[in-house]
Amino acid sequence: MSSDRLPSRSENFADWYNQLVLRAELADYAPVRGCMVVRPYGWALWENIKQELDKRFKATGHVNAAFPLFIPRSFLEREKEHVEGFSPELAVVTIGGGQELEEPLVVRPTSETIIGHMYAKWIKSHRDLPVLINIWNSVVRWELRTKLFLRTTEFYWQEGHTAHATYEEAEEETLQMLNIYADFAEKEAAVPVYKGLKSEREKFAGALRSYTIEAMMGDLRALQSGTSHNLGDNFARAFDIKYSDQNNELQYCWTTSWGLSTRFIGAIIMVHGDDQGLILPPRLAPYQMVIVPIFRDEDQKAAVFEAANKMMAQLSEFRVKLDLREGVTPGFKFNEWEMRGVPLRMEIGPRDLEANEVVLARRDILGREGKQKVSQDRVADAARDLLSDIHSNLLDRATRFRDENTHQVDSYESFKEVLENKGGFLRVYWAGSSEDEELIKAETRATIRCFLMDPPDGKGRCFYSGEETEKVAIFARAY
Amino acid sequence: MSSDRLPSRSENFADWYNQLVLRAELADYAPVRGCMVVRPYGWALWENIKQELDKRFKATGHVNAAFPLFIPRSFLEREKEHVEGFSPELAVVTIGGGQELEEPLVVRPTSETIIGHMYAKWIKSHRDLPVLINIWNSVVRWELRTKLFLRTTEFYWQEGHTAHATYEEAEEETLQMLNIYADFAEKEAAVPVYKGLKSEREKFAGALRSYTIEAMMGDLRALQSGTSHNLGDNFARAFDIKYSDQNNELQYCWTTSWGLSTRFIGAIIMVHGDDQGLILPPRLAPYQMVIVPIFRDEDQKAAVFEAANKMMAQLSEFRVKLDLREGVTPGFKFNEWEMRGVPLRMEIGPRDLEANEVVLARRDILGREGKQKVSQDRVADAARDLLSDIHSNLLDRATRFRDENTHQVDSYESFKEVLENKGGFLRVYWAGSSEDEELIKAETRATIRCFLMDPPDGKGRCFYSGEETEKVAIFARAY
């Protein structure tokens, strides 16, 4: 680890982010342009994210499977909007086993097409429906401007792909998965999100309708953090996915897809982090607590280590790191684990031993205010309470921050003025066209993040066109 | 599911295998030549394998991470044997984002090279060692003759990559992982294996020494089921992986790699399966038990379903499938779940209700002998005992089969005669050369599977060269 200071978050957010990802050893640049290596600390975070999502997927009847990395190029061309959307971003294999291939293979940018092909083969009858499959894998989209976790050529995600007998069931599934993403974001990652519908301009290439969860980052920009698409019968028609209904008549299926990626790690970093570094949400943190023993000589060391090991045994329900490194000071360890975002630190030294106590220090509240002495007999109870409290505090803080930086505007003038002087999310009535959206983006770099679900606002006038509407949109500059 | 009979295992083993993989819905052929789709039932089996291995890796201090799919072609060329071994099998990306790439990218066939590059960057001091990283991913090796699970262009595996300060530590790690594979194979999959060293001819391209676990399939052929490589300082020198030792002098690291793949699913199928289909080892089976309710009319149905749900609640520690499908007979369900290898079946009908009993039927012992009536109050205890017993029985059976088909021979004449008339494993003293090995393979299609570790045999004469030696080899025809 470098001993230089981390750049300040408020002065240079982008630099702070890039440096922090590297120093915290979450990820590193790969020797292939645009690719990343996810290091063990970052991958442990992703494994915890996976586990929490997977639990929710399985509880709603989904099963996992694996589909090939390679897709025949011709498959992509069967759905017109899909191929238009993905063509510019493809990595293409042209040589296999030393031979030029007759048909080039695309490295999957997403798997709707190859899954459509297989579903057409597997689904015969209404009894085979619904098919509810999820996949954990990586996909490749050639990117020119990359940023670790947020935009890389290869990234890790899950992609769910389901097939249903009716449009209504597909829509219900799409919304169910959107709600699961929002629930996961708030309950596990302490990241508050707006749920909503994407505009026509921003929807997934080939979808009928795309839903999204959108979070506000610490620099007031938006991050699309998970999406759920109702694909209508577009892919069913393109790949001939049909079932025979109860009357023995052939019908097209209705399909959905939904995904959440390692991008979400970027959201965790940018929603919670501060000038000291990461603050990881307790339910996902690779280490929920670090124990730092403090001692001056060998006698003290033996006693302190023994006590630390006793504490470890009491904390078996948590993910705990016992930092026994020698040759670095406790202060160095404090700084390092603060930078790496461990939610709770236990300090244990000779004076604590005498008093049968330990010190617990919160990462979300630094300094004396976040420290407390706890009897050694009740560290597990104290840790449970504190971790729960840290989660709530992170969620409250982030929600307050987002709400304080969400501004209602009713004219394009005030839109531009607020965006320029305050930034953040702009909440507006919207009845404009895709062309209007394009013009606003060209002038302000802000895009529609989503149309809010069930907005409580009633009717109002579009800030841009003046037309009356019930649709409420969130505009923002986004990652 | 097709209603045709499964081909007989003894009459046509290859056909039996291929049909079974498809019918049991473990995997399917992908639309890209040589690739497979792993279907939910097969993937659930792989997830259970992953979980058991991952537990063992983490218990021995390993952590997971992710490295890129793409490797610059030049990286492979840095280790001479490595590039020679893998060049003929590469898939190459030549186009990215619509542009011809300056340097083609290889889709990883294995990750030693890109990991070597990163380790050289991360490792500075002896304090950074050992580095103990494992990766769960897929790799691509262009194959001309493919077979589901056993040999596909893309396959799923884990690859462990470690770096150490000394040769001895690297060797210790290599052996530790070999032992973990053998332990996993026997304790979880009920697959008995021989542990041993690969011959020079069969070792990993770039390794100093490769160890393997070898299992005997139901057709008497061998399957290499997991390998662990001591890479010496070969990759450390090729990628300049160095550390400063306690005297501040730069030293090369010593590295290892080890892997176990979806091929292992092939071993499970071919070791345990019978003419009725799969027999899945209880500790890895996606469903450990299936409950089939039996009834004639709606009244019976309601009572039987209620009892079946009560049984489910008692069996929460197991993975249980409750088969409530209507429109297919209990007999059809029995056959289907037998074919799909569920270790234990619970039958529950009106007469069982009256007697407060259920019937439990073992998959490993078909017919009346494998059936027993159990009081409804003690189904969990009975299931626990039976599953444990099924595991032991499968392991015993497979061990007996292997031992009965392992033949000690002491001349090339008897080698050929036994191989032709009996097949199986040939246990021999071996002091021959790589050329001798090549000649034997050309004449008999048998290869050295491994040299046994610590053979108890003492010295003897090489069956081929007549030279005296302590080395005991297992020869066999292999997948």
pLDDT reported for residue B244: 98
pLDDT tens per residue across span A223-267? 999 999 999 999 999 999 999 999 999 999 999 999 999 999 999
- Binary contact (B47, A28; C-beta < 8 A): no
User: Of A216, A237, A272, which closes a domain?
Assistant: A272
- Binary contact (B32, A68; C-beta < 8 A): yes
Q: Is B133 helix (H, G, I), strand (E, B) or coil?
A: strand
Kind and range of the H or E element at B379? helix B379-404
Write the DSSP string, B415-426: HHHHHHHT-SEE
Q: The domain that contains B344 carries what CATH number?
A: 3.40.50.800
Contact call for residues B303 and B353 (beta carbons, < 8 A): yes
pLDDT tens per residue across span A320-365? 999 999 889 999 999 999 999 999 999 999 999 999 999 999 999 9
User: Of A389, A417, A443, which closes a domain?
Assistant: A389
How many domains are there within chain B?
3
Q: Are residue B249 and residue B184 in the same domain, yes or no?
A: yes
Q: Are residue B409 and residue B378 in the same domain, yes or no?
A: no
**Within-domain flag for B280:** no
User: Of A272, A305, A326, which closes a domain?
Assistant: A272
pLDDT tens per residue across span A306-316? 999 999 999 99
Nearest Cα residue to A471 out of A437, A422, A441: A437
Q: Are residue A137 and residue A244 in the same domain, yes or no?
A: yes
Q: The domain that contains B137 carries what CATH number?
A: 3.30.930.10
Size of interface A-B (CB pairs under 8 A): 166
pLDDT reported for residue B82: 86
CA angle centred on B24, ends B19 and B28, rounded to 5°: 65
Q: Is the pLDDT of residue B190 over 70?
A: yes
**Within-domain flag for B196:** yes
Q: Are residue A173 and residue A226 in the same domain, yes or no?
A: yes
Q: The domain that contains A460 carries what CATH number?
A: 3.30.110.30
**Within-domain flag for B7:** no
Mutate to test the interface with A, among B46, B95, B322 (most CBs of A within 10 A): B95
- Binary contact (B64, A87; C-beta < 8 A): no
Domain range enclosing B472: 405-476
Q: Are residue A59 and residue A185 in the same domain, yes or no?
A: yes
Write the DSSP symbol of residue B439: H
pLDDT reported for residue A475: 98
pLDDT reported for residue B389: 98
Q: Are residue B104 and residue B144 in the same domain, yes or no?
A: yes
Average confidence (pLDDT) over B336-340: 98
Can you tell me the ipTM of this complex? 0.95
For residue B46, the chain A residue with the least C-alpha distance is: A65
Q: Are residue A60 and residue A155 in the same domain, yes or no?
A: yes
Residue B85 token pair: 């071994």
**Within-domain flag for A397:** no
- Binary contact (B38, A66; C-beta < 8 A): yes
**Within-domain flag for B395:** no
For residue A144, the chain B residue with the least C-alpha distance is: B97
**Global pTM?**
0.96
pLDDT tens per residue across span B202-244? 999 999 999 999 999 999 999 999 999 999 999 999 999 999 9
Q: Looking at beta carbons, which residues of chain A come within 8 Å of B83?
A: none
Question: Which contacts (CB < 8 Å, 24+ apart) does range B144-148 have?
Answer: B144/A97, B144/B34, B146/B33, B146/B34, B147/B17, B147/B18, B147/B266, B147/B479, B148/B18, B148/B21, B148/B22, B148/B26, B148/B27, B148/B29, B148/B36, B148/B266
Q: Are residue A221 and residue A309 in the same domain, yes or no?
A: no
pLDDT reported for residue A445: 97
Nearest Cα residue to B70 out of A181, A394, A155: A155
Q: Are residue B293 and residue B267 in the same domain, yes or no?
A: no
Partner residue opposite A95 with nearest CB, options B94, B114, B143: B94
**Within-domain flag for B282:** no
Q: Are residue A370 and residue A331 in the same domain, yes or no?
A: yes
pLDDT band at A2 (very low <50, low <70, confident <90, very high): very low
**Within-domain flag for B281:** no
pLDDT band at A456 (very low <50, low <70, confident <90, very high): confident
**Within-domain flag for B279:** no
Q: Are residue B294 and residue B267 in the same domain, yes or no?
A: no
Q: Are residue B114 and residue B21 in the same domain, yes or no?
A: yes
